[in-house]
Structure 1
Amino acid sequence: MAEGTDPEGRTEAASERRVRQAVEKGDVPFSREAPVFASILGLLVALSLLVREGAGRLARELSPLLDRPRGFALESGGDALVLLRATALTAARFLVPVLLVLAAFGLCASLLQNVPRLVSGRIAPKWSRVSPAAGWGRIFGRPGQVEFLKAVLKVLSVSLVVLLLLRSERAKAVNAMFVDPGQLPELILSIAIRLVSAVSIATIVIVAGDLVWARLRWQRSLRMSRQELKDEHKQVEGDPAVKGRLRSLAKDRSRNRMLAAVNRATVVIANPTHFAVALRYEPAENPAPLVLAKGRDLIALRIREIAEEHGIAVIEDKPLARSLYDVAQVDQTIPAEFYRAVAQILFFLFARSR
């Protein structure tokens, strides 16, 4: 998509940080059709596994009420309450398992789409949820148009499936007037199972399309402009100018600490102005000479100046100074390959001081 096609210039895919923040705020893709489809499947399971046995038990328990209505005492309000309570309990034993199956399927459809997350901001009151202007925009905006299109497709597909199924069952419906009334529940149940099965098949395409649409719409709502990506990168990685300034300050502090340690040196090996390495050798402190400071050009000159101010010997040895500068590290002893060369210089200094 060209950048000019988006009114806000949001042409870039959302970053991982943007997606993570959206999920933490409860902004996740969600299909409203999936729980409806799951409820239809739950109804199909309930009709196939629970209703046949439950309806038979319900009929057996309520048949005395219909066959011998005079056998129940209704002399007072208490008797009526007992009868209503028993009837309601019988009906509840039939309905509760069915309702639990429907609720379980609908809940699973919601949970499988996204991991449950408690977000207080989602339940906080917002004016946009009750604003007539915002509601008007949701109804007549693009999301509202898509919802209207889905509703029309559902009505048309379900109506067509129901019409075709009822036409195919028309002969059974006519013959039902001449069969034993005891067979009617089984006939109605079989037709209901076929009807719900057909409806669930008809809505599969709509549900699959809605799942894809919900994710695409969510991804589109999180898209970012190039400037937003740059700003986020600065927030995560830090402003390059600020980072450069911090690195410069860190180098300055490190350089100042290094130069402050030069006055403790035993000898400074120079080349003669381009490189300088300050070494300290105290057998009680370290088994080998320790590098206190090193530098080139202006830093080398400053090391020499400090050494001369404190009466520290400055030995000019171009190859050794350059090699030490390249290999040795500050606050570490010199590598073993320099022991002989540095030992000769130290021996010369100690002999001269005597």
Structure 2
Amino acid sequence: MERLLKYRLQFFAEGSGGEKTEDATSKKLTDARSEGQVAKSTDLITASALLGLFFVLKTFVGTIGNNFINIFIRTYNSIDVYTRNDFTQATAQQIMRDNTIEIIKISIPVFISAFVIAFVTNIFQVKWKITGKPLMPKFSKFNPIKGFKKIFSKDKLVELLKEVVKIAVIIYLANNTLQKNKDILSRLYDMDLIPAILLIGNIVIDLGYKISIIFLFIGFADYFYQKLKFKKDMKMTKQEVKDEYKQAEGDPQIKGKIRAKMREASQRRMMQQLPEADVVITNPTHFAAAIKYDKEVSDAPILIAKGADYLAQKIKEVARENNIQIVENKPLARMLYYNVEIGNEIPPELYQMTAEVLAYVYNLNNQQA
């Protein structure tokens, strides 16, 4: 015995309206940007800041080192002076306060340069737009099911791969640097304090400089990946594109109905004015155009009605009911239909042909009278 099972195929559709195959519209990109959703690589920002930091340190290491040495000497001398006189807790606090201020003065230019580079890198990626919406709490973020899915998502796998690459780079460069400088480092115990500090500082800065450059390449790769990922995430279904178009432009069906109602109203007004026409010029089967001329109202005849096919037949019917002359003139009928709007005067290039028709109609009406 066969049993028929009914399935709702829309449950198998991917998202709303099917598969997301359409590129994001400008409206969706604008809305996403206002929500703080942009293609941005934090790795690129971090790498740029680190590179700027170590570049400044490498460039001004001598000046910075001398400033710290001067602070040490001044502090040591101050302690020596106070020890011989009266060294109290307040004195120690004052020395620490002065040293902290001096260290901050030395460090501020270094960290400002790193901040400026990170800021410029951020502007390079997302341009300039301030929004506070990403800071607002969203209850959807507290969904444990979505959070569990994100742990095993492709994005987390990519992040894990990046972190592994970073750690591998750091280990390799650190080991390589130590191997190259192991002979020099083994003689640190035989060196004076200041040369030893400068040597270690140069090694650390060179290592950080190399790591920052490698991280910068990783950051650029991550930036292009984020751009592709963002473009894919912003894709829309055909139904979403249609819905957005309806919201922006209005429902095409409703607009079509409105245009149809407007055409009907215009045709009714046209038919109401049609009995005032002096003549109806026809194709004879496809087009009809009704003309009225009143020299006290306008300098040229006015087109008060026109139509094609079925509407042309209706115009001729109304003309017969109101004893309006119907004149066959194919060229004039076509030119009036295609070139003159209802309510407008006849253009000068049609004066001669129209005048001949009106003269014929006036003569015909006089004879009938």
After TM superposition, the score normalised by the length of structure 1 is 0.85
By how many angstroms is 1:333 displaced?
2.5
Three-state SS of the structure 2 residue aligned to 1:261 is: helix
Indicate the residue corresponding to 1:317 in structure 2.
328
Indicate the residue corresponding to 1:244 in structure 2.
256
Distance (Å, rounded) in 2 between the aligned partners of 1:11 and 1:55: 58
Cα gap change, 1:297 to 1:114, in 2 (>3 Å): closer
| Contact 2:47–2:213 (Cα < 8 Å) also in 1 | no
Greater shift in the superposed pair: 339-348 or 42-51: 339-348
Distance (Å, rounded) in 2 between the aligned partners of 1:152 and 1:273: 82
Instruction: State yes or no: 1:122 paired with 2:154.
Output: no
Indicate the residue corresponding to 2:357 in structure 1.
342
By how many angstroms is 1:297 displaced?
4.8
By how many angstroms is 1:87 displaced?
1.4
By how many angstroms is 1:293 displaced?
0.8
Instruction: State yes or no: 1:28 paired with 2:38.
Output: yes
By how many angstroms is 1:202 displaced?
2.8
The 5-angstrom pairing of residues 1-354 of structure 1 reads 7-8=14-15, 9-17=18-26, 18-67=28-77, 69-72=79-82, 76-236=88-248, 238-270=250-282, 275-307=287-319, 313-319=324-330, 322-323=333-334, 325-327=336-338, 329=340, 330-334=342-346, 335-348=350-363, 351-352=366-367
Number of residue pairs matched by the alignment? 349
By how many angstroms is 1:270 displaced?
4.9
Deviations 1:265-297 (A, max 9, x none): 233345677654321111122222111112345
Identity, in percent, stands at 24
Distance (Å, rounded) in 1 between the aligned partners of 2:284 and 2:14: 65
Three-state SS of the structure 2 residue aligned to 1:338 is: helix
Greater shift in the superposed pair: 242-251 or 66-75: 66-75
Distance (Å, rounded) in 1 between the aligned partners of 2:284 and 2:232: 65
Give 2:81's aligned amino acid: G
Give 1:22's aligned amino acid: A
Point out where structure 2 has 5 or more consecutive residues left out of the alignment. 1-11
| Contact 1:274–1:296 (Cα < 8 Å) also in 2 | yes
Q: What is the RMSD computed on CA atoms of the aligned residues?
A: 3.0
Deviations 1:88-138 (A, max 9, x none): 111111122222122222222222110232334312111233444443333
Which is bigger in relative contact order (C-alpha 8 A, separation at least 6)? 2
Cα gap change, 1:152 to 1:306, in 2 (>3 Å): same
By how many angstroms is 1:236 displaced?
4.6
By how many angstroms is 1:46 displaced?
2.2
By how many angstroms is 1:151 displaced?
0.9
Give 1:141's aligned amino acid: S
Distance (Å, rounded) in 2 between the aligned partners of 1:6 and 1:204: 41
Deviations 1:216-259 (A, max 9, x none): 22122122233333444444555443343233222212211211
After TM superposition, the score normalised by the length of structure 2 is 0.82
By how many angstroms is 1:63 displaced?
0.5
Give 2:351's aligned amino acid: A
Distance (Å, rounded) in 1 between the aligned partners of 2:228 and 2:297: 68
Three-state SS of the structure 1 residue aligned to 2:290 is: strand
Distance (Å, rounded) in 2 between the aligned partners of 1:271 and 1:288: 22
By how many angstroms is 1:31 displaced?
0.9
